Structure 1
Amino acid sequence: MGKIDAKLVELGITLPEAPAPAANYVPYVISGKLLFISGQVSRNDAGFITGKLGADCTLEEGYAAARSCGLALIAQAKAACGGNLDRVARVVKLGGFVNCTPDFTAQPTVINGASDLMAEVFGDAGRHARAAVGAVLPLGVAVEIDAVFELA
């Protein structure tokens, strides 16, 4: 078992299966040492996590939705690395999109659900650049996040 897999066990985290693409795109692309992961939408065992922050979705629910996106990002990274998450040298950047009302301004707090997860799992290598914006999202999901990782 690798160092990152051991950390996931220590944290009690079970990764979901890496989701298949829902349209005409690939789940990830490796270019040089960079791994670009397509946007992962909020979902759990019951299906998509939907809702609009500032209307019918609480800040805590949004944070949890962002964490679910982070888990899917790590699952995609694991698939891209042939199952070896120790190949991840750094989380470079997260792009966070929050389905929210026009007056909702706590997008960064929502996306912290994924940012905090990256730091928990990858330590200092999980600290990253980031964007957190409001958007209308496909299927009514609460959150979507894409990522760039650096590979060793």
Structure 2
Amino acid sequence: MWGTCSEDAIVAAKFACVRQVNRIKLAVGDLSKVKQIVNLRGLVLAKEGLSDLTRITDGCSKFMIEVFGDSGAHTRGTEGMAAMPLDVTFEADILVELQP
């Protein structure tokens, strides 16, 4: 589990998106098949001491743009959660549009 400071949570968000990119690659075989990252929903464990939850989701959003360039730009939302499975700090729910 990550610490409770925002910087640790930002790193956790980026790692969550690294896992999502790996899942996309496993599902479609090649990341060049991704036409657009359409939407990203960040779920942040809102523990005491964490504030500015949207800044935490930025860690994931920036990573998607690093990987996919303009195709990584997306709409997004952030939700603060009172509890998360396995007490994780961040989860990402991502909607991906694929090439035809």
**Fold shared, TM-score > 0.5 on shorter chain:** yes
Q: 2:90 aligns with which of 143, 147, 151?
A: 143
The correspondence of residues 33-44 of structure 1 with structure 2, limited to 5 A, is none
Q: 2:9 aligns with which of 62, 65, 73?
A: 62
Q: Which residue of 1 aligns with 2:44?
A: 98
Deviation of 1:109 (Å): 0.4
Assess, with a 3 A threshold, how the Cα gap between structure 1 residues 103 and 61 changes in structure 2: closer, same or farther: closer
Q: 1:122 aligns with which of 64, 68, 89?
A: 68
Kept after mapping to 1: 8 A contact 2:5/2:50: no
Structure 1 position 110 matched with structure 2 position 44: no
Deviations 1:61-82 (A, max 9, x none): 0000000110011001101112
The structure having more radius of gyration, on CA atoms, is: 1
Residues paired across the two proteins, number = 98
TM superposition score normalised by structure 2: 0.90
Deviation of 1:105 (Å): 3.8
Deviation of 1:150 (Å): 0.4
Comparing both chains, which one has the higher relative contact order based on Cα–Cα distances under 8 Å and sequence gaps of 6 or more?
Answer: 2
Mapped partners of 1:133, 1:107: distance in 2 = 8
Mapped partners of 1:126, 1:111: distance in 2 = 14
Could you say what the CA RMSD is over the residues aligned between the two structures, in angstroms? Answer: 1.5
Quick one: percent identity of the two aligned structures?
Answer: 32
In structure 2, stretches of 5+ residues that fail to align are none
In structure 1, stretches of 5+ residues that fail to align are 1-49
Q: Which has the higher helix share?
A: 2
Deviations 1:130-152 (A, max 9, x none): 11110011111111111000000
Q: Which residue of 2 aligns with 1:89?
A: 35
